[in-house]
């Protein structure tokens, strides 16, 4: 199966708040534990073959090299039966209680073992997002003081970031040992910081360098001299930095760019920020990320609330899709698009900082599993465009092995295609890099 990867996702954020006393489990809040079979059917009803989904890490990863696969076995077997391709999300904003938080230096190795065990148990799974939105997770957990360790310092941020990215790199290595044709869809927030006035240009430039740090480290891209000093001044060692330079796996990766209306910011002279709303948009910001890393792209998250008129989310979908087509027509290889998530979410209006039970109407379906207008619009969009995009020369296709093909005669051929795909990525990754 080859083609443009239309997708949705199951929201599985699990950070802790209130000093680690409260676990915010979006799978529970959104009713997935009760309705997962229905939810997978809804995915099929939309005409989708790709689903961002991962098991709840805090329930599955119960101790060092100790795992409870019960729920994963049920859900993943059902996805395989339906021939839906999961993009498996192993760590989404939280860690198990025994790990503590992202300041724990043992986390990368523990997570590598978890990823290895998962890949061995579910060898038919090919697509992964080992650690979701590393930049956002480090920022919210250790710079803003909202989640998990609830720190608000540069040292806390750098420590969380280096542990998150190292965990991601080690997990990729472990999965590739089991599944050499694995493809990693790095879902990362695509950001931009606009200077409010001339005196704010300097802090905005710093923030526009920091936004790349997670992917720079993940892809082994040299940071500029100012960022290098920042990392070393806040606890990263030279050896740790060179670990990332020496473990480039970008040839196995699709760069996932997440974009919401909240991803662009206004910067004041003192470094404080506020929401700017959409100024550049997905097309321009994705071009900036693509020019830096030269990787195939997937739009891995977006949504918008259905407001009082009922068509606000539909209008946003049309705008984002127009941006995807603009990216594609500009010659950037874009492989997929995702409305995130399948159902409404809960308490994201406070960025999960408060446990209020407030339903956010962001899904393709509401929490009663009724189709929202944006769900109908997305279903129609998929039907209209599914067979059109793969025929266009600038729309690359990834060599995906469908679950139904695993273990069959077609897999060897698909694995050869995947290795060729990865080799093309390796060639692209060897472009000269400079500081800046």
Q: Classify burial at 275, counting beta carbons within 10 Å of its beta carbon; exposed 0-12, middle 13-18, buried 19 or more.
A: exposed
Cα Rg, the chain, nearest whole Å: 20
Per-residue pLDDT, averaged over 354-373, amounts to: 98
Q: Quickly count: other Cβ atoms within 10 Å of residue 325's Cβ.
A: 15
State both tokens at 404: 């139904």
Contact 211, 292 (CB under 8 A): no
How does the average pLDDT of the chain come out, rounded?
Answer: 93
Contact 335, 4 (CB under 8 A): yes
| CA proximity to 236, closest of 223, 219, 255, 250 | 223
Is the pLDDT reported for residue 111 higher than 90?
yes
Q: What percent of the chain has pLDDT over 90?
A: 88
Per-residue pLDDT, averaged over 357-368, amounts to: 98
Is the pLDDT reported for residue 71 higher than 60?
yes
- In DSSP notation, 392-412 reads STT--------GGGTTSTHHH
pLDDT tens track for 186-240: 999 999 999 999 999 999 999 999 999 999 999 999 999 999 999 999 999 999 9
State both tokens at 397: 């296709």
Please tell me the least confidently modeled range out of 32-36, 134-138, 426-430: 426-430
DSSP state at residue 223: P
Q: How far is CA 61 from CA 102, 125, 335, in A?
A: 15, 18, 32
Per-residue pLDDT, averaged over 285-295, amounts to: 98
Characterize the bridge pairing of strands 192-195 and 61-63: unpaired
Distance CA 119, CA 66 (A): 15
Angle, in degrees to the nearest 10, between helices 154-178 and 134-142: 150
Contact 325, 288 (CB under 8 A): no
Measured CA angle at 304 (ends 14, 168), to 5 deg = 35
Q: Classify burial at 303, counting beta carbons within 10 Å of its beta carbon; exposed 0-12, middle 13-18, buried 19 or more.
A: buried
What's the topology of domain 5-429?
Answer: TIM Barrel (3.20.20)
Distance CA 277, CA 344 (A): 22
Is the pLDDT reported for residue 265 higher than 90?
yes
Res 389: pLDDT: 79
Per-residue pLDDT, averaged over 43-57, amounts to: 98
Is the pLDDT reported for residue 147 higher than 60?
yes
Is the pLDDT reported for residue 397 higher than 80?
no
DSSP, collapsed to helix, strand or coil, labels residue 245 as helix
Distance CA 141, CA 135 (A): 10
- Give the residues across from 61 on adjacent strands: 67
Is the pLDDT reported for residue 133 higher than 50?
yes
Characterize the bridge pairing of strands 66-67 and 61-63: antiparallel
Per-residue pLDDT, averaged over 360-371, amounts to: 98
| Residue 387: band (very low, low, confident or very high) from pLDDT cuts 50, 70, 90 | confident
pLDDT tens track for 305-333: 999 999 999 999 999 999 999 999 999 99
State both tokens at 270: 């003192």
Res 421: pLDDT: 54
Res 392: pLDDT: 55
Work out whether the CA dihedral 234, 238, 239, 240 comes out positive or negative: positive
Is the pLDDT reported for residue 404 higher than 80?
yes
> Domain-by-domain residue ranges, the chain?
5-429
The overall longest dimension of the chain from CA atoms, in Å, is 63
pLDDT tens track for 334-355: 999 999 999 999 999 999 999 9
Measured CA angle at 367 (ends 361, 371), to 5 deg = 75
Work out whether the CA dihedral 211, 215, 221, 225 comes out positive or negative: positive
Q: Quickly count: other Cβ atoms within 10 Å of residue 299's Cβ.
A: 26
Per-residue pLDDT, averaged over 115-128, amounts to: 98
């Amino acid at each position: 199966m080859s083609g443009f990867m239309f997708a949705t996702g199951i929201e599985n954020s699990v950070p802790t708040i209130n000093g680690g006393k409260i676990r915010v489990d979006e799978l529970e809040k959104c009713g997935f534990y009760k309705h997962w079979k229905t939810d997978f059917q809804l995915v099929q009803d939309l005409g989708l073959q790709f689903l961002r989904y991962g098991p709840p890490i805090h329930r599955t990863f119960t101790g060092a090299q100790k795992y409870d696969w019960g729920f994963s076995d049920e859900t993943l077997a059902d996805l395989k039966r339906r021939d839906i391709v999961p993009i498996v999300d192993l760590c989404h904003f939280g860690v198990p209680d025994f790990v503590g938080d992202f300041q724990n230096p043992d986390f990368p190795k523990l997570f590598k073992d978890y990823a290895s065990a998962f890949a061995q148990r579910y060898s038919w799974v090919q697509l992964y997002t080992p650690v979701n939105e590393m930049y956002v997770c480090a920022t919210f957990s250790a710079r803003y003081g909202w989640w998990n360790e609830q720190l608000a310092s540069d040292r806390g941020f750098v420590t969380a970031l280096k542990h998150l990215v190292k965990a991601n790199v080690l997990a990729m290595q472990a999965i590739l040992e089991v599944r050499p044709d694995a493809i990693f869809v790095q879902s990362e927030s695509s950001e931009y910081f606009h200077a409010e006035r001339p005196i704010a240009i300097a802090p905005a430039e710093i923030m526009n360098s920091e936004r790349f740090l997670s992917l720079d480290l993940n892809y082994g891209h040299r940071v500029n001299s100012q960022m290098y000093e920042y990392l070393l001044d806040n606890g990263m060692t030279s050896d740790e930095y060179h670990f990332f330079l020496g473990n480039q796996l970008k040839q196995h990766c699709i760069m996932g760019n997440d974009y919401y209306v909240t991803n662009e910011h206004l910067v004041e002279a003192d470094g404080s920020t506020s929401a700017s709303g959409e100024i550049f948009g997905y097309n321009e910001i994705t071009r900036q990320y693509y020019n830096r890393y030269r990787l195939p792209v997937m739009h891995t998250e977006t949504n918008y609330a259905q407001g009082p008129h009922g068509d606000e989310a539909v209008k946003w979908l049309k705008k984002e899709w127009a941006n995807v087509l603009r990216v594609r027509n500009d010659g950037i290889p874009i492989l997929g698009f995702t409305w995130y998530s399948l159902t409404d979410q809960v308490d994201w209006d406070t960025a999960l900082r408060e446990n209020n039970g407030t339903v956010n109407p962001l899904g393709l379906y509401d929490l009663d599993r009724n189709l929202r207008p944006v769900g109908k619009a997305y279903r129609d969009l998929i039907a209209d465009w599914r067979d059109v995009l793969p025929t266009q020369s600038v729309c690359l296709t990834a060599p995906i092995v469908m679950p139904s093909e695993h273990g069959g005669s077609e897999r060897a051929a698909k694995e050869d295609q995947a290795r060729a795909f990865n080799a093309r990525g390796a060639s692209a990754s060897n472009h000269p890099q400079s500081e800046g």
